[in-house]
Amino acid sequence: MSSSRLCWPTPNGLPALGPTAVLAACVALLAISGPAVELDLMRLIAAIPRMIEFGGHLLVLPDWEYLPTLGVNMLQTLEMTFLATSIALVVSLPLGVLAAANASPHPMVFHITRNLLTLMRALPELVWALVFVSAVGLGPLPGIMALAFVTVGFMGKFFAESIEVIDLRQVEGVAAHGAGWLQLRTFAFFPQAFPDFVGTVMYILDHNLRAAAILGLVGAGGIGYDLVMAMRMFDYDRLLPIALSIYVVVTVLDRLSDRFRRRLI
Q: Which residues bind other proteins (CB under 8 A)?
A: 167, 169-170, 172-183, 186-188, 191-192, 194-195
- The secondary structure element, H or E, covering residue 102 is none
Contact by Cβ (8 Å): 225, 80 = no
Nearer residue to other proteins within complex by CB, 175 or 240? 175
Nearer residue to other proteins within complex by CB, 188 or 223? 188
Nearer residue to other proteins within complex by CB, 10 or 183? 183
Nearer residue to other proteins within complex by CB, 166 or 230? 166
Distances, alpha carbon 254 to alpha carbons 72, 202, 210, in Å: 21, 8, 12
In the 8-state DSSP scheme, what is residue 165?
Answer: T
Contact by Cβ (8 Å): 135, 142 = yes
Tell me how crowded residue 247 is: count the other CB atoms within 10 A of its CB. 10
Of 69, 49, 55, 75, the C-alpha closest to 238 is 69
> Least distance in Å: CB of 167 to other proteins?
8
- What distance in Å separates the CA atoms of residue 250 and residue 256, rounded to the nearest whole number? 10
Contact by Cβ (8 Å): 113, 95 = yes
> Least distance in Å: CB of 159 to other proteins?
16
> Least distance in Å: CB of 175 to other proteins?
7
Nearer residue to other proteins within complex by CB, 86 or 192? 192
> Least distance in Å: CB of 34 to other proteins?
52
> Least distance in Å: CB of 166 to other proteins?
10
